[in-house]
Amino acid sequence: MARPTKPRKINFDPKVKYFKPRAVPLSDLEEVVLSADELEAMRLHNAGDCNQKKCAKKMNVSASTFQRILTSAHKKVTKALVEGKAIKIIGD
């Protein structure tokens, strides 16, 4: 049986829940779903100017879990940018 997920601290509520390529209707686009914890990991690491250990502590996860979350987020955002997909942010 899998271990239960530890609650993650997310101290950011984005005002915008979608990003999409300009001049393309949302109905014509595929979506990449970015979770709130993935967005928080990117915010802390890329815009927050803190190292992985500090960021992990702020999110109440281990450094290796933080790295997995961050890697997943980077892959999803890169895929959306390269393939022209919309990014949908879910979760709280």
Instruction: Look at the chain and report how many structural domains it folds into.
Output: 1
pLDDT in tens, 45-78: 988 778 999 999 999 999 999 999 999 999 999 9
Has residue 73 been placed in a domain?
A: yes
Assess whether pLDDT exceeds 90 at residue 8. no
CA distance 40 to 31: 19
Has residue 44 been placed in a domain?
A: yes
Q: Which residues contact 14 (CB under 8 A, 6 or more apart)?
A: 39, 89
Has residue 3 been placed in a domain?
A: no
Has residue 10 been placed in a domain?
A: no
Q: Which residue has the higher pLDDT, 9 or 56?
A: 56
* pLDDT recorded at residue 49: 77
Has residue 68 been placed in a domain?
A: yes
User: What domain range is 53 assigned to?
Assistant: 37-90
Has residue 19 been placed in a domain?
A: no
CA distance 57 to 63: 8
